[in-house]
Amino acid sequence: MTTNPPRRALITGASSGIGEAFARELASHGIALVLTARRTDRLEQLAAELRSRHGVEATVAPLDLARPDAVEALVAALDNQHLPIDILINNAGYGVPGYFDESPWQTHADFIQVLMTAPTELSHRLLPGMKARGYGRIVNVASLAGHIPGSAGHTLYGASKAYLIRFSQSLALETLGTGVNVTALCPGFTYSEFHDVSGSRQLVSQMPKFMWMDAPTVVRQGWQAVEAGKAVYVNGRVNGLIKSLFKLMPDALALRLVEKQGRKFRMGGH
């Protein structure tokens, strides 16, 4: 009797935070993993732990998604190693602090490549195989920031997350009936290294504790959402309420509120 091979997931930004939590969650379900990020040592340590704890196959693929050829090279390597991807977690991301014109263009170009172009290209290259096999899951880790007006500073962050939300909605409709589910996961403030990397740790630490969620909870909810076929999922009641309130507000009022709060905090973000 033959047995079907385990599902395999590709997780970007897997070395910490929500990406690492996704690796742990999926490994607990017996799903094979391909882990990619820039920090090879962190990836190898995580892969070894998950192999030992769950007995899953875990492949490490160190990669800088800011390189324009990174996705093409990664997918070619997966094809050469006969590692079909059934589950794509587009999680890699970071923030660029400061006002738009204070950073060189290359900094913004790299940001757009990592947070918008790479997840779009990965989805485009991996989706045909998912459809052909009649099963696929794509989770685009967006943010509550994609549902509210943009704020001063971190200029492209909210815009990139709004893009991922709309992209996910369209792709979810296009894949109806194919066995492929697509979800934009929209956490708010999540305990991770994100705010250390973006330089906003001191500011966001002033936020009340009820605004925060832990990465494993965000991931469990996200996995349940994509399995249920939800095109967009906002984590937590507080974040859901914030999204609803901003949706009901007149645009001018919402923008003024974000401008006032943005002096102290960058709203949303994982």
Here the CATH number for the domain that contains residue 87 is 3.40.50.720
Residue 221: domain span: 8-262
pLDDT of residue 263: 57
**Is 1 within the bounds of a domain?**
no
Pick from 116, 24, 133: nearest CA to 65: 116
| Residue 58 CB neighbours (<10 A) | 21
Cα–Cα distance, 26 to 8 (Å, whole number): 9
**How far is Cα 147 from Cα 76, in angstroms, rounded to an integer?**
35
- State residue 258's pLDDT score: 77
Angstrom distance (rounded) from CA 233 to CA 103: 32
> One of 99, 135, 157, 163 is an active-site residue; which one?
157
Give the tens place of pLDDT for each residue, 118-165: 999 999 999 999 999 999 999 999 999 999 888 889 999 999 999 999
**Per-residue pLDDT at 66:** 97
Can you count the helices (H) and strands (E) in the chain?
11, 9
Extended strands (E) in 13-165: 32-36, 58-60, 87-90, 136-141
> Is residue 177 situated within a structural domain?
yes
Residue 269 lies in a domain: no
Say if residue 204's pLDDT is above 90: no
Q: What's the CA gap between 214 and 187, in Å, rounded?
A: 10
Q: pLDDT over 90 for what percent of the chain?
A: 73
Q: Which of 71, 85, 117, 88 is nearest to 184 (CA)?
A: 88
60 has which bridge partners?
Answer: 35
pLDDT band per the 50, 70, 90 thresholds, residue 256 = confident
Distance CA 154, CA 187 (A): 17
Listed residue (157, 153, 267) closest to 207, CA to CA = 267
Q: Is residue 90 part of a domain?
A: yes
**Residue 2 falls inside a structural domain:** no
Mean pLDDT of 65-73: 97
In the chain, how many domains are there? 1
pLDDT bin (cut points 50, 70, 90) of residue 21 is very high
pLDDT, tens digit (0-9, with 9 covering 90-100), for 24-48: 999 999 999 999 999 999 999 999 9
For residue 247, what pLDDT is reported?
82
268 belongs to a structural domain: no
**Alpha-carbon 148 to chain mean position:** 18
Instruction: Give a yes or no: residue 163 inside a domain.
Output: yes
- Residue 182 pLDDT > 50: yes
Residue given tokens 């192999």 in the structure block:
51
Q: How sure is the predictor about 1, in pLDDT bands with cuts at 50, 70 and 90?
A: very low
Closest CA relative to residue 199, chosen from 94, 42, 66, 65: 94
Predicted TM-score (pTM) of the model is 0.88
The per-residue pLDDT for 268 is: 40
Please indicate, yes or no, if residue 243 is contained in any of the structural domains. yes
Report the mean per-residue pLDDT for the chain. Answer: 89
Pairing mode, strands 189-191 and 232-234: unpaired
Residues 6+ apart with CB under 8 A from 20: 14, 46, 215
Give the residue-averaged pLDDT of 202-231.
Answer: 82
Active site residue 135: no
Distances from the Cα of 127 to the Cα of 66, 227, 259, angstroms: 21, 16, 39
pLDDT exceeds cutoff 70 at 193: no
Residues 6+ apart with CB under 8 A from 115: 92, 93, 94, 156, 157, 160, 161, 164
